[in-house]
Chains A and B, each alone.
Chain A
Amino acid sequence: MNFTRRGWLAGVAASLAGLKTAQASGSNRAFRSYPGRLGLLHDSTLCIGCRSCEAACNNVNSLGPPADPLDDPSVFERTRKLSTRLYTVVNRYMPAQGRRAPVYRKHQCMHCNEPCCASVCFVKAFIKTPEGPVLYDPDLCVGCRYCVFVCPYYALTYEFNEPATPRVGRCTMCYPRIRQGLQPACAEACPAGAIQYGRRDDLLELARARIRKYPDRYRPHIFGENEWGGTSWLTIYGQPLATLDLPDEPSHAPLPTLITGHLSLAPVAAAIVPGLLAGIYALAHRRDEGLPKNGQRPTTSLPDSPTPAKKKDGHEPLA
């Protein structure tokens, strides 16, 4: 190949174009929050385990009454998981040493600031709204269940029993009610006031004030403030997170940033690697006399057979 100046300039231009696209597509800046967005504060020490939130959630989402009867305390003997008919669940946990009352905690989709489900969905069926909730569009979903797999809080479930149009099941933070100015159904239903709805910044202040006022009752930490970039559901609690089935001290970096760095290199690689390999090929074959044209044998610099040397100056060649 002829390594011409034109070829070299073309290669550099292509690399620069590739870099520009790479910069535009991938970036590792963490998104903190939309200003003024909403959230919910769950005070696990106030939860009495009445499961009114489960009943209200099922009612609002037309899921039918919860499978386990509401007045049967034996349902707490095992830890229940979320399901497509139970978008939120209250579980009972062993109290910390020295405390007597049982401890309950409500679990549901945490509506993360940087949701993993939205990050991995390649059909963009998940949207993080400015108000705070993460919304799911079943019409766009293709059923790959990558989101179910990747959620760190195990908050998404899948309708395996539904043959025709299976959907992902998850808490919606009652987005239609929020848009109407109402509270989410669970917050309105809670008789003990263990779920508080409001602006996330206000709830953080409220949680801090409560922890400061009752230092014996709470751990000095608001779960959801920073975990994996932060969530819209905040939890304050009185015993170790591991005993409440919550991850203990995860990283503050949003989980999607684990892969956006690598993914952002793909266009760069696509731009540079072909040019690089072509350049190496060119360097390796620069002494060749050219590529063979159609039908011709490749010319080499070695002679096939000794040809008699031409007569020069009328003299015969030596040997």
Chain B
Amino acid sequence: MNETWCRKLQQARFACGLFALLLSVGCEPDAVPASTSADTIVLRLPPALGWPERLPVAFAHDRHTKALAADRCSDCHPKDGQGRVLPQSRWTLIGQDAGAWTAAFHSGCIGCHEQRRQQEQTAGPIDCSGCHATAEDAAGVPPALRYTYDLHGRHVAALGEPADKTCQRCHHVFDKVARKLVYRQHEEGACRDCHASVAKPYVRALGDAVHLACVDCHRRMTSPAGHRGPQTCAGCHETAARQQQAQKDPVTRLVAGQKDAYWVTPAAADRPGTPVAFSHKAHENADVAPFCTTCHHRTIQSCSHCHTALSGSAGGGVTLEQAFHRATAQASCVGCHAQKSQQAACVGCHAALPPPPAEVSCAVCHRGPARRDLALVDPQVVRPPLTKTVLPMPSDEFPKTVRLAALAQKYLPVELPHARIVKALVDGLGDNRLAQCFHSDVKVLCGSCHHHQPSGTSPQPCSACHGRHALPATDQPDLRAAYHRMCLGCHQRSGRPTTCVTCHRPAGPVTQKGTP
């Protein structure tokens, strides 16, 4: 018995020891989620080289930039033949196998850290868990940068060169015949017209192209006023920092060969149609869209360059008609106008309407002459009127108040402040030119409540069609529901009061809690 007991104790000790050993070896440091600051680049082993043995590294680029003296980019980044600093580090380009890849990074990073420690400067970690401490699923992409009129204008102003020289610095196109990058006037497009998020043959990825063009220029050049562009990640990618540098002077208009106004015609050349007089100049400001690329979402050319009548692959399957009228697209006319109608001042009425485009509003844009006369007429002349909506004078057709007494039971009849409501709608239009285009005639505003009837000078009241009972066949609510849905719906959406006593005064004695 003694023997077996000793044997069992030995086995137990062995098991505990083994367990403790496994426990100590298999532990990773607690992974912290990567910070979402603009300068964090998450370094992880490329999947093609195998499974990683360690957690990814969250590389804080700006910390390194600030720690090193100026213009020490080439410590880590190689330069190309023209002296431009390439965006990738010199170790990223070593790609044979995982061992070589990690050895290159370790010798580069840890080598520098050790060197600085010996020189008693602030240095990064030299142990494994000092760097390999990011959660495995951390995303390594800083917030995307979108150009705005203001940003573009600041660059143009900073360079301070004549117009024909300025554009060449950044804008180029690929000449297929000469097989090189050239500058062509009036074809200045956006970077992402050709540079996609991943590299294609002979075309850099967007990130590489942009960093190569922008950061290198910031590194080497100063503006005539002595200002140098930002060289840290946060300087461009953090919107707060960008907005601090917002330009105070008005932005000069970008002229790339576009006219002030265009005739936009339906696709088929032989069919008559009612063209649209499109004022390009009126749409070229930050109130409408942040930049040209909002509408010119693929190329600076006109819409019909890619979107044809029969949708082809170039247009992504979107016909020319859909390119203008699709209500859910940001780059289409109707889609952008629909988005604008969801603002707080507009959504009260517009959320109750069926989805656009509404046939009654076709004529607001489509008001050109017959196609054969187009060459004779200047589109500027035929633009939609921008007159301010006029509030009618109180009259029989436009009463100041309306007494709603048909359903007065628990509450007294409601004195609807009719003129005040219409005035509030007219004031809500404000100086918004888009609103003025569509609502210049006040009868359009009448139609928001006096709906499902011809637009005229003497609209019918609600009780003309809404009876005591609902009509399920046409989904028409009864009169009480119609009143409450129309009024309270708009009040709810536009943030106006929605309590019963806002409109109703109780008829009989009320309870202690204020209900009849």
Q: Which residues of A contact B (CB under 8 A)?
A: 46, 48, 50, 55, 65, 69-73, 98, 100-102, 190-193, 196, 198, 202-203, 206, 209-210, 213-217
Contacts and interface: CB of A to CB of B under 8 A. Distances in A.
Contacts of B513: 69-72
B498 A70 contact: no
Contact of A48 (B342, B351, B478, B492): B492
A206 B484 contact: no
B244 interface: no
Interface stretch (B101-109, B140-148, B191-199, B469-477): B469-477
Nearest to A210: B475
A72 B493 CA distance: 20
A191 B499 contact: no
Contacts of B498: 48
Contacts of A196: 470, 472
18 contacts: A48-B484, A48-B498, A50-B500, A69-B513, A69-B514, A70-B515, A72-B513, A98-B342, A100-B347, A192-B484, A193-B470, A193-B478, A193-B481, A203-B472, A206-B475, A213-B354, A214-B355, A216-B355
A196 B473 CA distance: 13
A64 B488 CA distance: 28
Interface string B492-516: 1101001111000000000101110
Contacts of B470: 193, 196
Nearest to B477: A193
B55 to A, nearest CB: 33
Contact of B488 (A55, A100, A192, A209): A192
A46 B472 contact: no
B355 A71 contact: no
A55 B477 CA distance: 22
A192 B355 contact: no
Interface majority SS on A: helix, strand, loop or mixed? loop
Contacts, number: 63
B344 interface: yes
Contacts of B484: 48, 191-193
B493 A100 contact: yes
Given A48-B484, A192-B481, A192-B484, A209 B475 contact: yes
Contacts of A202: 472
Interface of B: 342, 344, 347, 351, 354-355, 470, 472, 475, 477-478, 480-485, 488-489, 492-493, 495, 498-501, 511, 513-515
B403 to A, nearest CB: 19
Contacts of A203: 472
A71 B499 contact: yes
A71 to B, nearest CB: 5
Contacts of B485: 46, 192-193
Nearest to A205: B472
A70 B515 CA distance: 7
A189 to B, nearest CB: 10
Contacts of B472: 196, 198, 202-203, 206
A73 to B, nearest CB: 8
Contact of B344 (A65, A100, A193, A215): A100
B214 to A, nearest CB: 33
Given A70-B513, A100-B493, A192-B488, 16 more contacts: A46-B489, A65-B511, A69-B513, A69-B515, A100-B347, A191-B481, A192-B481, A192-B484, A192-B485, A193-B484, A193-B485, A206-B475, A213-B475, A214-B354, A215-B355, A217-B351
Contacts of B481: 190-193
A219 to B, nearest CB: 15
A5 B89 CA distance: 92
Contacts of B501: 71
A71 B514 contact: yes
A198 B472 CA distance: 9
A100 B342 CA distance: 10
A193 B482 CA distance: 8
B65 to A, nearest CB: 37
A309 to B, nearest CB: 54
Nearest to B353: A214
Contacts of B477: 193
B50 to A, nearest CB: 39
A46 B492 CA distance: 11
A50 B481 CA distance: 13
B514 to A, nearest CB: 5
A50 B344 CA distance: 23
